[in-house]
């Protein structure tokens, strides 16, 4: 009863209702809420603090910025808060003005994202011309996505394209990237296609902000060749996989295009199957045979592995051979 009263007391205020209505549409920073609501930063911050303390919103750190959004799992309060938001009058002038300013804010975000993408598009197009078509890679990746996937984590999400492809087939997806510019591109792309089950966060792939054994599927698409320590990336990704969870790694096979180091900042010139398999094994994952997609000058590999179920882990520690196929 007290929890219900607390929620009702928190939402029963005009500014906080306006904040919730905006948060139902997008995640925003304090300064963005200030611009839309036309109120002082201390006042807006106080309302956000109350909503966070009530467990209705959460604060997500992104470098020097912090985004606020509705809590995805509000427990028994979720349906009530969603119902309150749904019942807000659509003909209210104040709420309509808030939504108009939010639309304008999204347009400014989109323009910044487009400008950044335009600056880098030629570089990306040059690289794409060297390997198999993206659509073929995406189709192969989708074919290897386990059915009935609840949670998916895309590491180094970049433009968010992999989330666009896979998110419609999972319950909830999160994309992380270190670059705020790329996150802006991803948010713009995902907002355009309307993926409401997707979350974008700034995070370090070497120190993921997620509990161990909390994710069903991890994807790492064209990221490892930028990594100083690919083995460490895979170990950290394996840490968050649930028992039985799947990792899908997409990257280049070994090649001799040394210009990619200079022109595209590649640290590694592709990876051999046994090299990736060794890293996956060291991360306590069981590998499936890889998929190879030849291109004009670059071959793309998809390496699929899974974290053993607990009973399989116990059998392996006893020296018992598992009853499934592995490489090598």
Same-domain pairing of 169 and 239: yes
Same-domain pairing of 36 and 140: no
Confidence at residue 284, expressed as pLDDT on a 0 to 100 scale: 96
Same-domain pairing of 36 and 170: no
Confidence at residue 323, expressed as pLDDT on a 0 to 100 scale: 39
Residue 302 CB coordination number (10 Å): 19
What is the residue-wise DSSP string for 250-274?
EEEPP---THHHHHH--SSS---HH
- Whole-model pTM: value is 0.68
**Mean pLDDT per 10-residue segment, the chain (328 residues):** 77 92 88 94 94 87 75 65 84 92 82 62 66 91 94 93 94 91 83 82 93 97 90 96 97 89 81 95 96 91 94 55 34
Same-domain pairing of 211 and 305: yes
Q: Are the C-beta atoms of residues 225 and 270 closer than 8 Å to each other?
A: yes
Same-domain pairing of 78 and 162: no
Instruction: Indicate whether 108 belongs to any domain.
Output: no
Q: What is the dihedral of CA 105, 113, 118, 296, to 10 degrees?
A: -140
Q: What is the dihedral of CA 275, 276, 282, 287, to 10 degrees?
A: -130
User: Tokens 């460490």 appear where?
Assistant: 232
Confidence at residue 314, expressed as pLDDT on a 0 to 100 scale: 52
Helix, strand or coil, per DSSP, at residue 129 = coil
* End-to-end CA separation in angstroms for the chain: 59
What residue numbers bound the domain in which 49 lies?
A: 2-102
Region of residue 324 (left: phi > 0; alpha: psi -120 to 50; beta: else): beta
The residue among 82, 102, 122 that closes a domain is 102
Instruction: Indicate whether 228 belongs to any domain.
Output: yes
Same-domain pairing of 259 and 165: yes
User: Tokens 């603090």 appear where?
Assistant: 49
Instruction: Indicate whether 162 belongs to any domain.
Output: yes
Contacts of residues 192-197 at CB distance under 8 Å and 24 or more positions apart, as own/partner, are 193/164, 195/163, 195/164, 195/167, 195/168, 197/167, 197/170, 197/171, 197/172, 197/173
Range list of β-strands (E), the chain: 28-29, 57-62, 65-70, 149-155, 170-177, 198-202, 215-221, 241-252, 286-287, 291-293, 300-306
Confidence at residue 326, expressed as pLDDT on a 0 to 100 scale: 28
Instruction: Indicate whether 122 belongs to any domain.
Output: no
User: Tokens 């007391």 appear where?
Assistant: 9
Instruction: Indicate whether 121 belongs to any domain.
Output: no
Residue 83 CB coordination number (10 Å): 9
Instruction: Indicate whether 125 belongs to any domain.
Output: no
Same-domain pairing of 205 and 291: yes
**The token pair that represents 292 in the structure block:** 């190879």
Same-domain pairing of 161 and 248: yes
The CATH number of the domain where 95 resides is what?
1.10.10.10
Same-domain pairing of 165 and 226: yes
Instruction: Indicate whether 29 belongs to any domain.
Output: yes
Provide the number of structural domains found in the chain.
2
Confidence at residue 123, expressed as pLDDT on a 0 to 100 scale: 64
Confidence at residue 327, expressed as pLDDT on a 0 to 100 scale: 23
Instruction: Indicate whether 116 belongs to any domain.
Output: no
Region of residue 196 (left: phi > 0; alpha: psi -120 to 50; beta: else): alpha
The residue among 56, 86, 102 that closes a domain is 102
Estimate to the nearest angstrom the gap between the alpha carbon of 6 and the chain centroid: 32
The CATH number of the domain where 254 resides is what?
3.40.50.150
Same-domain pairing of 242 and 296: yes
Same-domain pairing of 136 and 272: yes
Same-domain pairing of 260 and 218: yes
Confidence at residue 64, expressed as pLDDT on a 0 to 100 scale: 65
Range list of β-strands (E), 195-240: 198-202, 215-221
């Amino acid at each position: 009863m007290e929890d219900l009263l607390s929620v009702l007391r928190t939402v029963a205020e005009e500014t906080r209702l306006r904040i919730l209505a905006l948060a139902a549409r997008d995640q925003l920073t304090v300064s963005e809420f200030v611009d839309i609501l036309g109120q002082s930063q201390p006042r807006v911050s106080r309302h956000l603090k109350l909503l966070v303390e009530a467990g209705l919103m959460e604060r997500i750190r992104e470098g020097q910025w912090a985004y606020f959004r509705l809590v995805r799992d509000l427990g028994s309060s979720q349906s009530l808060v969603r119902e309150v938001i749904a019942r807000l009058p659509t003909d209210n002038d104040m709420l309509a003005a808030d939504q108009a300013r939010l639309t304008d804010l999204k347009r400014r975000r989109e323009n910044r994202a487009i400008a950044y993408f335009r600056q880098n598009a030629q570089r990306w197009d040059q690289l794409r011309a060297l390997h198999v078509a993206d659509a073929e890679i995406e189709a192969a990746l989708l074919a290897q996505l386990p059915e009935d996937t609840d949670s998916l984590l895309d590491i180094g999400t970049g433009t968010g394209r992999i989330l666009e492809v896979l998110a419609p087939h999972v319950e909830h997806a999160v994309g992380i990237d270190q670059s705020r510019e790329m996150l802006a591109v991803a948010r713009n792309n995902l907002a355009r296609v309307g993926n409401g089950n997707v979350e974008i966060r700034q995070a370090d792939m070497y120190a993921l902000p997620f509990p161990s054994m909390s994710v069903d599927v991890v994807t790492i698409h064209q990221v490892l060749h930028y990594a100083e320590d690919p083995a460490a990336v895979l170990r950290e990704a394996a840490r968050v996989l649930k028992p039985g969870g799947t990792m899908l790694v997409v990257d280049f096979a070994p090649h001799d295009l040394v210009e990619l180091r200079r022109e595209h900042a590649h640290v590694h010139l592709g990876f051999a199957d046994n090299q990736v398999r060794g890293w996956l094994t060291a991360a306590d994952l069981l590998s499936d045979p890889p998929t190879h997609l030849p291109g004009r000058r670059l071959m793309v590999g998809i390496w699929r592995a899974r974290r053993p179920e607990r009973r399989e882990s116990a059998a392996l520690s006893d020296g018992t051979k598992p009853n499934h196929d592995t490489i090598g």
